[in-house]
Amino acid sequence: MRLPLVVGNWKMFTTPAEGADLAAEIARRLGNLQGVEVVVAPPFTSLAAVGPAIRGKGIHLAAQDLHWEERGPFTGAVSRGMLEALGCLYVIVGHSERRKHFGETDQQVNRKIQAALCGGLRPILCVGEEEGERAGGKLREVIRRQVSRALDGYPAGSALQLAVAYEPVWAIGTGKAASPEDAAEAHQVIRRQMERILGEGPSAAVRILYGGSVTGENVAGFAARPEVDGVLVGGASLKPADFAAIVRGGWEARTRVG
């Protein structure tokens, strides 16, 4: 069984002081946690404050993006080395909001993943279809394309460092989550496509998460599906009680049963 992974994406919320307080409260509520890996992804400006608040508490630090170059004239960008210096272990790559609002392409996502692997960062690749694409029967086509382009040239030997988050665009921030059955179907497509790229053995180690309006009320349905290895949480990760409920009520409970 793959170790469940729960990631909290704080997006463009929290000042450094707010982030440190939020992280400390999450760590308090998740004390003595077993059988689940937890990650929080604050905005860049809060990374330095959040890192010390979770150090030694069993929670890892992630960044929300990175640039594919290590240094250079890229105003506003942050490199892999800068993130590692702040204590980041993970980095989210290709989130739908980056694709939609900043025009990020599959090719740029690929370059960012390759950059992360140059050091010690573990990429969390985000893929997912828009509502019109799902309605048009293009779910499989979209996911296969995004996975294939993002992982082009990805070394099979680094499969353990990779996680993939299925985030249907129509479910992000809308309060309308995919059903556990729909999520499981998409995860199966992702798994099969990774097998074609990485091989069956290496791809079996990759954790596939569901993201999109995850709450403490609906998380048990996702945790009940063996295809779902964890969740990427947005708004609920800014509320310590809600985030703890997702971790404990969904994923810690699943590992206890398992």
Catalytic choice (97, 129, 167, 252): 167
Contact 50, 24 (CB under 8 A): no
| Active-site residue, 60 included | no
Give Cβ neighbours of residue 250 (< 8 Å, ≥ 6 apart): 6, 216, 219, 220, 222, 223, 231
Q: What's the burial of 220, exposed, middle or buried (CB within 10 Å: 0-12/13-18/19+)?
A: middle
Give the containing element (helix H, strand E) for 122: strand 122-127
Residue 192 CA to chain centroid, in angstroms?
19
Residue 146 CA to residue 253 CA, distance in Å, equals: 32
| Active-site residue, 167 included | yes
**Residue that the structure tokens 């079996």 belong to:** 204
Residue 97 CA to residue 104 CA, distance in Å, equals: 9
Catalytic choice (95, 104, 129, 187): 95
Active site residues: 95, 167
